[in-house]
Amino acid sequence: MKIISKTINIATKQRIQFIDITNELEKFVKESGVRNGICLVHVPHATAALILNENEIGLIEDFKRKISELFPMNAGYLHDRIDDNAYAHLASGIIGTSKIFPIVEGELVRGTWQNLLLTELDGPRSSRKVIFQVMGE
């Protein structure tokens, strides 16, 4: 069985930003040579998230607005006494920081409109890490 991991680092530029990492994901799976198994993607941060959806410019703005509506900044959070990013922690905790995909006959299984979006919630940051890991044969 093959178990292969890779970490990539990404600099973010905006407070809330969506960075499409589908190409990096696909490339990693191809290079692993795994024909059948799983691919796990994990972001080891408490103020970022992973969203799997369509990378359409209007929809990306809709996601940004929806996140800001569900998790507004500076809404009297207790954690803001320490830092000013409680909204980002809440969004990260509820949206989640990992995704997992089947790999079947050498192909990562995802829908046409399922792009993997690294979701920065408290940027800019010089280095956000994403861990890719395949396990299979």
Q: Which of 53, 68, 73, 125 binds a second copy (CB under 8 A)?
A: 53
Task: Enter the tokens of residue 125.
Answer: 């940051």
In this complex, which beta carbon is closest to a second copy, that of residue 15 or of residue 53?
Answer: 53
Pick left, alpha or beta for residue 96 (phi over 0 → left; psi -120 to 50 → alpha; otherwise beta): left
Shortest Cβ 78–a second copy spacing (Å): 3
Q: Which of 8, 15, 26, 40 binds a second copy (CB under 8 A)?
A: 40
CA–CA separation, 115 and 7 (whole Å): 19
The 99-128 contact track toward a second copy, x by CB under 8 A, reads: xxxx-x----xxx-xx--x-----------
Buried b (16+ CB within 10 A) or exposed e, 84-112: ebbbbbbbbeebebebebebeeeebebee
Q: Which of 8, 15, 26, 51 binds a second copy (CB under 8 A)?
A: 51
CA–CA separation, 48 and 90 (whole Å): 10
In this complex, which beta carbon is closest to a second copy, that of residue 6 or of residue 15?
Answer: 6
Angle of helix 57-70 versus helix 86-95 axis, rounded to 10: 110
In this complex, which beta carbon is closest to a second copy, that of residue 10 or of residue 90?
Answer: 90
Residues 6+ apart with CB under 8 A from 76: none
Contact footprint for a second copy (CB under 8 A): 1, 3, 5, 36-38, 40, 42-47, 51-54, 56-59, 61-63, 66, 70-71, 77-79, 81-82, 86, 89-90, 92-102, 104, 109-111, 113-114, 117, 131, 133, 135-137
